Amino acid sequence: MTGDVDGLDKLLFELEVRLMGPEFRRDREKVSSLLHEDFREFGSSGRAWSREAILDLLQSEPLYLPPDIVEFRVTRLEEATALVTYRAVRASGSTLRSSLWVQDEGGWRMLFHQGTKVPKA
């Protein structure tokens, strides 16, 4: 983490981890609370997902062991906008991930997320 003095690094790390938790992901209401109304995702599969499509997908997603998060970094773009980047590591490989978080009356919510598979060496 970059050591943001206002605790934003820690908060956004916790929110990213929460969104990876298998039980949390299956709870549409909880996930909805962290996704901005205009949320979009570009998945590591190459597919683009809308907020509703992701919410539908996550409800039926099989339970799994969440990846480890390494190289976590927060870059504040504006007072209420932050870019998060990190590597999600699993035994099967890793993905580079980026999330755009915005703060509104509902708190910090994810506006955009992208995952890119890292080729095996």
Report pTM.
0.89
Give a yes or no: residue 94 inside a domain: yes
Give a yes or no: residue 43 inside a domain: yes
Map 78-118 to HEC letters: ECCEEEEEEEEEECCEEEEEEEEEEEECCEEEEEEEEEEEC
Residue with the larger pLDDT of the pair 59 and 16 = 16
Supply the pLDDT for residue 4.
Answer: 53
Q: How far is CA 117 from CA 17, 46, 59, 92, in A?
A: 19, 10, 23, 11
Q: What is the CATH number of the domain that holds 47?
A: 3.10.450.50
Give a yes or no: residue 101 inside a domain: yes
Give a yes or no: residue 3 inside a domain: no
d(CA 33, CA 92): 30
Q: Per the structure, how many domains does the chain have?
A: 1
Please, are residues 98 and 49 in contact by the beta-carbon 8 Å criterion?
no
Give a yes or no: residue 1 inside a domain: no
Range of the domain at 54: 8-117
Give a yes or no: residue 69 inside a domain: yes
- Residue whose pair of structure tokens reads 């870059």 in the numeric block: 75
Report pLDDT digits (tens) over 35-88: 999 999 998 888 999 999 999 999 888 878 889 999 999 999 999 999 999 999
